[in-house]
């Protein structure tokens, strides 16, 4: 059994976060026990950690609430499992897209670093040296030689 402060420490959240999650119906507020204090169980800790995990995956509290609420109408857990799979697939797809953009950004920075380290005439770039530059195809500022 945990008091609210103990539960907060175990889950690495604030007491206010626990109370907020109770207000939203994400976790049940237990009845007050001796001396009017609430006592939480290991099950409450697991639910709280699960909420934190889902938030870290980018699910909103509204989405998490929908998943939790399915437990009331879906004793088999199949609907929750399906919904989790849907969210996980969406988050995976989003993460892959972000990673691709980040990889492109890193590649762009790396060739710029190489180019800056290797250029002989920094002030002349872009300029006449563009014709022989190995970064010609990548550079947005390259000056194309005019054919007469």
Q: Which residues pair with 32 in a beta bridge?
A: 38
Q: What range does the domain containing 19 cover?
A: 1-73
Average of pLDDT values for 102-129?
87
Predicted confidence at residue 145, as pLDDT, reads 54
Q: What is the per-residue pLDDT across 11-45, written as a single tens digit (0 to 9) for each?
A: 999 999 999 999 999 998 887 776 778 899 999 99
**Residue 23 in domain:** yes
Q: How many domains does the chain have?
A: 1
Helix (H) or strand (E) holding 107: helix 78-118
Contact 41, 2 (CB under 8 A): yes
Please report where in the chains the tokens 């626990």 appear, as a residue: 18
Predicted confidence at residue 139, as pLDDT, reads 85
Closest CA to 45 of 59, 28, 60: 28
Predicted confidence at residue 116, as pLDDT, reads 86
Q: Is the pLDDT of residue 148 over 60?
A: no
**Residue 96 in domain:** no
CATH code where residue 54 lies:
1.10.1660.10
CA atoms of 87 and 59, how far apart (whole Å): 8
**Residue 29 in domain:** yes
Q: Is the pLDDT of residue 146 over 50?
A: no
CA atoms of 30 and 35, how far apart (whole Å): 14
Predicted confidence at residue 86, as pLDDT, reads 96
Average of pLDDT values for 129-139?
82
């Amino acid at each position: 059994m945990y008091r609210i402060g103990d539960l907060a420490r175990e889950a690495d959240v604030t007491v206010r976060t626990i109370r907020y999650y109770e207000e939203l119906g994400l976790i049940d507020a237990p009845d007050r026990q001796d001396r009017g204090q609430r006592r939480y169980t290991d099950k409450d800790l697991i639910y709280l950690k699960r909420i934190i995990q889902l938030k870290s995956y980018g699910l909103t509290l509204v989405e998490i609430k929908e998943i939790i609420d399915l437990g009331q109408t879906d004793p088999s857990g199949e609907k929750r499992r399906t919904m989790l799979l849907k969210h996980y697939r969406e988050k995976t797809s989003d993460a892959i897209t972000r990673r691709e953009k980040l990889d492109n950004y890193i590649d762009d920075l790396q060739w710029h670093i190489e180019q800056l380290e290797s250029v002989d005439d920094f002030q002349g770039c872009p300029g006449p040296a563009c014709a022989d530059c190995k970064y010609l195809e990548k550079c947005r500022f390259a000056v194309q030689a005019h054919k007469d």
